């Protein structure tokens, strides 16, 4: 079972400085970043057994995290 966090910094280490800068200067990016972090934290809690949830709910969260990551990545590449 995958039990480590998928933080945006871990997913895109080459964009570390750009992530930091965009969080401070781009409200939309900062909002998406916060939402991504919350979803990732919840998935981590489910996977470690700290928060029991159904498989369907967990899969929906993982899909949401992926959509957010894709959107954040597009902003990073722009």
The neighbour count for residue 39, using CB atoms within 10 Å, is 21
Question: Which ranges in the chain belong to alpha helices (H)?
Answer: 8-11, 16-25, 27-47, 55-77
pTM attached to this predicted model:
0.88
**CA dist., res. 64 & res. 52, Å (int):** 18
pLDDT per residue over 11-63, tens digit each? Answer: 999 999 999 999 999 999 999 999 999 999 999 999 998 888 999 999 999 99
Phi-psi region of 7 (alpha: psi -120 to 50; beta: other; left: phi over 0): beta
């Amino acid at each position: 079972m995958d039990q480590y966090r998928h933080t945006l910094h871990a997913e895109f280490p080459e964009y570390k400085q750009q992530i930091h800068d965009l969080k401070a200067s781009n409200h939309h990016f900062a909002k998406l970043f916060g939402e991504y972090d919350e979803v990732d934290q919840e998935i981590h809690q489910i996977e470690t057994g700290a928060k029991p949830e159904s498989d369907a709910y967990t899969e929906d969260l993982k899909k949401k995290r992926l959509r957010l990551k894709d959107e954040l990545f597009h902003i990073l590449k722009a």
